[in-house]
Amino acid sequence: MCYQGVQWYILQMVKDKDSVTYKIVLQILTDEIEHEDNLQAVTEDIDLLQRKYDLGQ
């Protein structure tokens, strides 16, 4: 199980039992998804620059 999968599992476990933990895990998961999106954008930008300036060779 991947890290985000574990977080989703914990989120479901505490959903109706511990609202504080639920909110913390939800915020962590939201941040992780945002960071993943940011890293994907950076990777795409690097790929574009490599193609534009022929740096990939």
User: What DSSP letter does each residue of 6-50 carry, written as one string?
Assistant: HHHHHHHHHTTT-HHHHHHHHHHHHHHHHHHHHHHHHHHHHHHHH
pTM equals: 0.64
Kindly give the parts of the chain with pLDDT less than 50. none
- Number of folded domains in the chain? 1
The fraction of the chain above a pLDDT of 90, given in percent, is 42
Q: What pLDDT, on a 0 to 100 scale, did the predictor assign at position 1?
A: 55
Domain boundaries, position 42: 3-53
Residue 7: its pLDDT value, please?
A: 79
Tokens matching residue 46: 């690097």
- C-alpha span between 42 and 5 (Å, rounded): 24
Specify the amino acid at residue 4.
Q
